[in-house]
Amino acid sequence: MPVPTRLVAIAVSPMELLRPESDLARLVRGAGQVDLLTACEDGPVGAERTVTSYLDYPDYDDEDEDEVSSGDDPDELLWLPAHAEPVDEVRSAVARLDLPDLRLHRLGLRSPLGPGTEPDLVAALSELVGFDPEPGVYCLAPASAPGDPNRSVVVRAAQRIARVYGLPMLRYRCLALSVVADPP
């Protein structure tokens, strides 16, 4: 089989790429340019997200109150705390994988994915494939799992894209993580 020059891949969540012994990471590592679309973020529905507001910063009062400020001097504003950009933990973890040709695209849909999300996935994948894909473009999707509704929607969307664009379809295994408790 010829080596793909470009992969358009889809995953339910970034964890499929980041987990140890990921088949997706193995296949991506050996490919050329890779566009990976993740449908959902990891974490439970309704999980708390950090929101930063200017109200979170301390209120600095003028201690001596006898100086009158015009507000025109930029040095007078040095007390304002520097706004730190939030760290994107997923992008940081992906960067640690050292996959320079991987471009990550995240839809951030809510889990569980319903049948109504399939058109969104198809549209996003279509954008990544392009209007007239060059030879050597492959579609990479998870192996089917009839018991997993999220994966079923993702697989159907990838199958539609492969069929419409005439792309070869590759599959990757998804490892199920299990937690085994110590016996009492």
- For every residue of 55-101, DSSP letters joined together read GGS-----SS------S--GGGGTTSPP-PPPP-HHHHHHHHT--TT
Question: Residue 16, CB half-sphere, CA atoms under 13 Å: how many?
Answer: 26
pLDDT digits (tens, 9 = 90+) for 76-90: 555 555 666 677 888
- The per-residue b/e assignment along 30-41, b for 16 or more CB within 10 angstroms, e otherwise, is ebeebbbbbbbb
Question: Does residue 54 surpass a pLDDT of 50?
Answer: no
pLDDT digits (tens, 9 = 90+) for 115-156: 899 999 999 999 999 988 988 999 999 999 888 999 999 999
User: What per-residue confidence (pLDDT) applies to 53?
Assistant: 44
In the chain, what are the domains? 6-43+88-172 (3.40.50.10320)
178 band by pLDDT with thresholds 50, 70 and 90: very low
Beta bridge partners, 164, equal none
State the average pLDDT for the chain.
80
Phi, psi of 91 (to 5 degrees): -65, -35
User: What per-residue confidence (pLDDT) applies to 42?
Assistant: 72
Largest CA distance in the chain: 79
Question: Does residue 61 surpass a pLDDT of 70?
Answer: no
27 band by pLDDT with thresholds 50, 70 and 90: very high
User: What per-residue confidence (pLDDT) applies to 72?
Assistant: 59
Q: How far apart are CA 13 and CA 43, in angstroms?
A: 10
